[in-house]
Amino acid sequence: MNSTSRIALVTGATRGIGLETVRQLAEAGVHTLLAGRNRDRAVEAALELQAEGLPVEAIALDVTDAASIAEAARTIEARHGRLDILVNNAGILVDDPAKGAAGQSLETWRTTFETNVFGLIATTQALLPLLRKSASARIVNVSSLLGSISQHQNPASMIYDMKGIPAYNVSKSAVNAWTVHLAHVLKDAGIKVNTIHPGYVRTDMNKAGDEQNGELEVADGARTSVRLALIDDDGPTGGYFYLDEALPW
Protein backbone atom coordinates (compact mmCIF):
# COMPACT_ATOMS: atom_id res chain seq x y z
CA MET A 1 0.00 0.00 0.00
CA ASN A 2 1.26 3.47 -0.84
CA SER A 3 1.20 5.27 2.51
CA THR A 4 1.68 8.74 1.04
CA SER A 5 -1.11 11.13 2.06
CA ARG A 6 -3.09 8.39 3.77
CA ILE A 7 -4.99 9.19 6.97
CA ALA A 8 -4.89 6.86 9.98
CA LEU A 9 -6.42 6.96 13.45
CA VAL A 10 -5.10 5.02 16.43
CA THR A 11 -7.23 4.81 19.58
CA GLY A 12 -5.73 4.65 23.06
CA ALA A 13 -2.59 6.20 21.65
CA THR A 14 -1.18 8.44 24.38
CA ARG A 15 1.21 5.76 25.64
CA GLY A 16 2.50 2.23 25.17
CA ILE A 17 1.73 0.22 22.06
CA GLY A 18 -0.76 2.80 20.80
CA LEU A 19 1.76 5.62 20.89
CA GLU A 20 4.40 3.48 19.20
CA THR A 21 1.88 2.46 16.52
CA VAL A 22 1.33 6.15 15.80
CA ARG A 23 5.07 6.68 15.56
CA GLN A 24 5.65 3.79 13.16
CA LEU A 25 2.72 4.71 10.90
CA ALA A 26 3.90 8.32 10.80
CA GLU A 27 7.45 7.18 10.02
CA ALA A 28 5.95 5.29 7.07
CA GLY A 29 4.54 8.58 5.78
CA VAL A 30 0.97 8.16 7.02
CA HIS A 31 -0.72 11.26 8.46
CA THR A 32 -1.72 9.77 11.79
CA LEU A 33 -4.34 10.93 14.27
CA LEU A 34 -3.23 10.24 17.83
CA ALA A 35 -6.43 9.66 19.78
CA GLY A 36 -6.78 9.72 23.54
CA ARG A 37 -9.48 10.18 26.16
CA ASN A 38 -7.59 13.10 27.65
CA ARG A 39 -7.14 15.78 25.00
CA ASP A 40 -4.25 17.46 26.83
CA ARG A 41 -2.28 14.21 26.96
CA ALA A 42 -3.03 13.55 23.30
CA VAL A 43 -1.81 17.01 22.35
CA GLU A 44 1.33 16.63 24.45
CA ALA A 45 2.17 13.27 22.86
CA ALA A 46 1.43 14.57 19.36
CA LEU A 47 3.62 17.64 19.85
CA GLU A 48 6.56 15.45 20.85
CA LEU A 49 6.24 13.44 17.64
CA GLN A 50 5.69 16.58 15.56
CA ALA A 51 8.96 17.92 16.98
CA GLU A 52 10.64 14.91 15.39
CA GLY A 53 9.19 15.92 12.04
CA LEU A 54 6.47 13.27 12.00
CA PRO A 55 2.99 13.90 10.50
CA VAL A 56 0.95 13.43 13.67
CA GLU A 57 -2.22 15.18 14.79
CA ALA A 58 -3.97 14.96 18.17
CA ILE A 59 -7.65 14.17 18.50
CA ALA A 60 -9.82 13.62 21.57
CA LEU A 61 -11.64 10.29 21.53
CA ASP A 62 -13.09 8.32 24.43
CA VAL A 63 -14.33 5.00 23.03
CA THR A 64 -16.81 4.65 25.94
CA ASP A 65 -18.47 8.01 25.23
CA ALA A 66 -20.89 8.19 22.31
CA ALA A 67 -20.70 11.98 22.14
CA SER A 68 -16.89 11.88 22.04
CA ILE A 69 -16.93 9.30 19.24
CA ALA A 70 -19.43 11.34 17.22
CA GLU A 71 -17.40 14.53 17.66
CA ALA A 72 -14.23 12.77 16.56
CA ALA A 73 -15.97 11.49 13.44
CA ARG A 74 -17.20 15.00 12.61
CA THR A 75 -13.72 16.43 13.16
CA ILE A 76 -12.08 13.88 10.86
CA GLU A 77 -14.67 14.46 8.17
CA ALA A 78 -14.23 18.23 8.38
CA ARG A 79 -10.43 18.11 8.34
CA HIS A 80 -9.75 15.20 6.00
CA GLY A 81 -12.97 14.02 4.37
CA ARG A 82 -12.14 10.35 4.80
CA LEU A 83 -10.23 7.81 6.89
CA ASP A 84 -7.92 5.18 5.37
CA ILE A 85 -6.74 3.26 8.44
CA LEU A 86 -8.37 2.59 11.80
CA VAL A 87 -6.35 0.87 14.52
CA ASN A 88 -8.61 -0.05 17.43
CA ASN A 89 -5.90 -0.16 20.09
CA ALA A 90 -7.73 1.17 23.18
CA GLY A 91 -8.19 -1.46 25.86
CA ILE A 92 -8.19 -2.04 29.60
CA LEU A 93 -7.41 -4.87 32.02
CA VAL A 94 -9.15 -4.51 35.38
CA ASP A 95 -9.51 -8.15 36.50
CA ASP A 96 -8.31 -9.17 39.96
CA PRO A 97 -6.16 -12.26 39.25
CA ALA A 98 -6.74 -13.54 42.79
CA LYS A 99 -10.49 -13.93 42.11
CA GLY A 100 -10.22 -16.08 39.02
CA ALA A 101 -12.97 -16.88 36.54
CA ALA A 102 -15.71 -17.42 39.11
CA GLY A 103 -14.98 -14.46 41.36
CA GLN A 104 -14.77 -11.39 39.13
CA SER A 105 -17.55 -8.91 39.84
CA LEU A 106 -20.16 -8.13 37.22
CA GLU A 107 -18.87 -4.56 37.36
CA THR A 108 -15.45 -5.82 36.25
CA TRP A 109 -17.05 -7.67 33.33
CA ARG A 110 -19.18 -4.69 32.32
CA THR A 111 -16.32 -2.20 32.59
CA THR A 112 -14.02 -4.44 30.56
CA PHE A 113 -16.53 -5.06 27.80
CA GLU A 114 -17.55 -1.39 27.68
CA THR A 115 -14.06 -0.43 26.51
CA ASN A 116 -12.65 -3.56 24.89
CA VAL A 117 -15.74 -4.65 22.95
CA PHE A 118 -18.58 -2.14 22.89
CA GLY A 119 -16.26 0.86 22.59
CA LEU A 120 -14.35 -0.79 19.77
CA ILE A 121 -17.56 -1.60 17.90
CA ALA A 122 -19.07 1.84 18.48
CA THR A 123 -15.93 3.59 17.25
CA THR A 124 -15.74 1.41 14.14
CA GLN A 125 -19.41 1.90 13.31
CA ALA A 126 -19.11 5.68 13.64
CA LEU A 127 -16.00 5.84 11.45
CA LEU A 128 -17.09 3.32 8.85
CA PRO A 129 -18.72 5.95 6.58
CA LEU A 130 -15.34 7.71 6.43
CA LEU A 131 -13.51 4.44 5.83
CA ARG A 132 -15.86 3.67 2.95
CA LYS A 133 -14.61 6.88 1.29
CA SER A 134 -11.10 5.41 1.14
CA ALA A 135 -9.90 3.59 -1.96
CA SER A 136 -8.47 0.79 0.19
CA ALA A 137 -9.32 1.09 3.88
CA ARG A 138 -7.84 -1.06 6.62
CA ILE A 139 -9.20 -1.87 10.09
CA VAL A 140 -6.89 -3.45 12.67
CA ASN A 141 -8.37 -4.67 15.95
CA VAL A 142 -5.80 -5.14 18.70
CA SER A 143 -6.60 -8.39 20.47
CA SER A 144 -4.32 -10.81 22.29
CA LEU A 145 -3.28 -14.45 22.19
CA LEU A 146 -5.29 -14.57 25.42
CA GLY A 147 -8.39 -14.30 23.24
CA SER A 148 -7.62 -17.63 21.53
CA ILE A 149 -10.10 -20.21 22.80
CA SER A 150 -8.21 -23.09 21.21
CA GLN A 151 -4.98 -22.07 22.94
CA HIS A 152 -6.74 -21.80 26.29
CA GLN A 153 -7.79 -25.44 25.80
CA ASN A 154 -4.33 -26.60 24.72
CA PRO A 155 -2.22 -27.85 27.67
CA ALA A 156 0.93 -27.24 25.62
CA SER A 157 0.09 -23.57 25.09
CA MET A 158 1.88 -20.82 27.00
CA ILE A 159 -1.50 -19.35 27.96
CA TYR A 160 -3.11 -22.59 29.17
CA ASP A 161 -2.82 -21.62 32.85
CA MET A 162 -3.53 -17.92 32.32
CA LYS A 163 -7.17 -18.03 33.42
CA GLY A 164 -6.92 -15.41 36.19
CA ILE A 165 -8.06 -12.48 34.03
CA PRO A 166 -11.23 -13.91 32.46
CA ALA A 167 -13.02 -10.66 31.64
CA TYR A 168 -10.03 -9.45 29.65
CA ASN A 169 -9.52 -12.81 27.95
CA VAL A 170 -13.16 -13.24 26.97
CA SER A 171 -13.39 -9.64 25.76
CA LYS A 172 -10.55 -10.36 23.35
CA SER A 173 -12.28 -13.55 22.19
CA ALA A 174 -15.30 -11.38 21.44
CA VAL A 175 -13.12 -8.95 19.47
CA ASN A 176 -11.78 -11.85 17.43
CA ALA A 177 -15.27 -13.13 16.66
CA TRP A 178 -16.55 -9.70 15.70
CA THR A 179 -13.56 -9.21 13.40
CA VAL A 180 -14.56 -12.29 11.44
CA HIS A 181 -18.13 -11.03 11.06
CA LEU A 182 -17.08 -7.51 10.08
CA ALA A 183 -14.53 -8.76 7.55
CA HIS A 184 -17.21 -10.88 5.92
CA VAL A 185 -19.61 -7.96 5.63
CA LEU A 186 -16.91 -5.68 4.16
CA LYS A 187 -15.17 -8.23 1.93
CA ASP A 188 -16.55 -6.67 -1.27
CA ALA A 189 -16.05 -3.07 -0.14
CA GLY A 190 -12.26 -3.02 -0.42
CA ILE A 191 -11.94 -2.75 3.37
CA LYS A 192 -9.67 -5.32 4.99
CA VAL A 193 -10.31 -6.18 8.63
CA ASN A 194 -7.90 -8.17 10.79
CA THR A 195 -7.23 -8.80 14.45
CA ILE A 196 -3.78 -9.07 16.00
CA HIS A 197 -1.75 -10.27 18.97
CA PRO A 198 0.96 -7.68 19.70
CA GLY A 199 3.09 -10.13 21.67
CA TYR A 200 3.93 -10.15 25.37
CA VAL A 201 5.07 -6.54 25.55
CA ARG A 202 6.64 -4.58 28.41
CA THR A 203 3.75 -2.22 29.14
CA ASP A 204 1.90 -1.02 32.23
CA MET A 205 -0.91 -3.47 31.45
CA ASN A 206 1.43 -6.46 31.74
CA LYS A 207 3.20 -5.42 34.93
CA ALA A 208 0.75 -6.86 37.47
CA GLY A 209 2.35 -9.77 39.29
CA ASP A 210 5.18 -10.16 36.79
CA GLU A 211 8.65 -8.88 37.55
CA GLN A 212 9.68 -9.18 33.90
CA ASN A 213 6.71 -7.11 32.76
CA GLY A 214 6.67 -8.72 29.33
CA GLU A 215 9.22 -10.12 26.92
CA LEU A 216 9.17 -7.61 24.03
CA GLU A 217 9.97 -3.94 23.69
CA VAL A 218 7.06 -1.64 22.85
CA ALA A 219 8.45 -1.06 19.36
CA ASP A 220 8.11 -4.79 18.67
CA GLY A 221 4.57 -4.79 20.04
CA ALA A 222 3.43 -2.21 17.48
CA ARG A 223 4.83 -4.00 14.44
CA THR A 224 1.91 -6.36 13.82
CA SER A 225 -0.65 -3.54 13.91
CA VAL A 226 1.44 -1.47 11.52
CA ARG A 227 2.02 -4.40 9.16
CA LEU A 228 -1.71 -5.13 8.88
CA ALA A 229 -2.53 -1.41 8.59
CA LEU A 230 -0.26 -1.12 5.55
CA ILE A 231 -1.03 -4.36 3.71
CA ASP A 232 -1.54 -4.24 -0.05
CA ASP A 233 -4.79 -5.06 -1.78
CA ASP A 234 -3.76 -8.71 -2.06
CA GLY A 235 -3.27 -8.94 1.71
CA PRO A 236 -5.43 -10.96 4.09
CA THR A 237 -8.76 -10.09 5.64
CA GLY A 238 -10.65 -11.76 8.46
CA GLY A 239 -7.42 -13.11 9.95
CA TYR A 240 -5.78 -13.30 13.38
CA PHE A 241 -2.05 -12.60 13.32
CA TYR A 242 1.17 -12.12 15.23
CA LEU A 243 3.65 -10.52 12.81
CA ASP A 244 3.22 -12.68 9.68
CA GLU A 245 2.06 -15.78 11.58
CA ALA A 246 -1.62 -16.76 11.46
CA LEU A 247 -2.85 -17.63 14.94
CA PRO A 248 -5.41 -20.29 15.93
CA TRP A 249 -8.80 -18.98 16.95
d(CA 236, CA 80): 27
Q: Which of 99, 163, 168, 207 is catalytic?
A: 168
d(CA 240, CA 249): 7
Q: Which of 99, 163, 172, 200 is catalytic?
A: 172
168 is catalytic: yes
160 is catalytic: no
Q: Active-site residues: which are they?
A: 168, 172
